[in-house]
Amino acid sequence: MSDEHFQVYNDMKEFIGFTAEDEVRLQALGPVFAKHGPGITDRFYDSLQAYPKTAKIVEGRVEALKSTHKQWMTELFAGEYGRPFFDRQYVIGQVHVVNNINPEFVEAVTSTLRTFGRLAVFEEMGSNDDAGLHSDSLAKILDLALMTINLAYADERIDRMSNVTGMSRRLIENLIKRGAKK
């Protein structure tokens, strides 16, 4: 959870146009997800349990994981998207790494959240421009959370390479950067 990573997070907020208006819209979505969140969480875990590779990961822990997931969804609408939010998302990424959950599964289930979240927004707000803006804000925060979680995966890979090779993290990062310059 380096300052450098937090700067990347802030740069991405700026790049995707995450604004104070998005923060207000996300807070306004809190009641929508208080109502629809449990169903979205159920669908999320149904998709994990339906796929053999992820079913093994969640086996015997679904109810506890659902509770954690509901808390995470509540935090998406709390209105705080600075360093504490970033740090929590990064820790979530570390937990996924420790539990050997491949990043592509995190990305795929984020798509599930985006889809069912969008449906909840339009169901509650109707099909209008305001609902579209709220749905866009939801997509932005999910993308920022996913990007932060993926930073934890990238760090873990570099750390593993450092441990296996004995090379310093800085050297590995420089080699990666250098390899990109062809």
Domain boundary assignment for the chain:
3-179
Q: Which two tokens stand for residue 182?
A: 């062809």
Q: Is 100 exposed, middle or buried (0-12, 13-18, 19+ CB in 10 A)?
A: exposed
The whole-angstrom separation of Cα 143 and Cα 48 is 20
Query: Which tens digits make up the pLDDT trace of 138-167?
Result: 999 999 999 999 999 888 888 888 888 998
The whole-angstrom separation of Cα 67 and Cα 46 is 14
pLDDT at 180 over 70: no
pLDDT at 181 over 70: no
pLDDT at 1 over 70: no
pLDDT at 169 over 90: no
Least confident residue range of 63-67, 131-135, 156-160, 162-166: 156-160
Please tell me the CATH code under which domain 3-179 is placed.
1.10.490.10
Q: Which two tokens stand for residue 2?
A: 């380096």
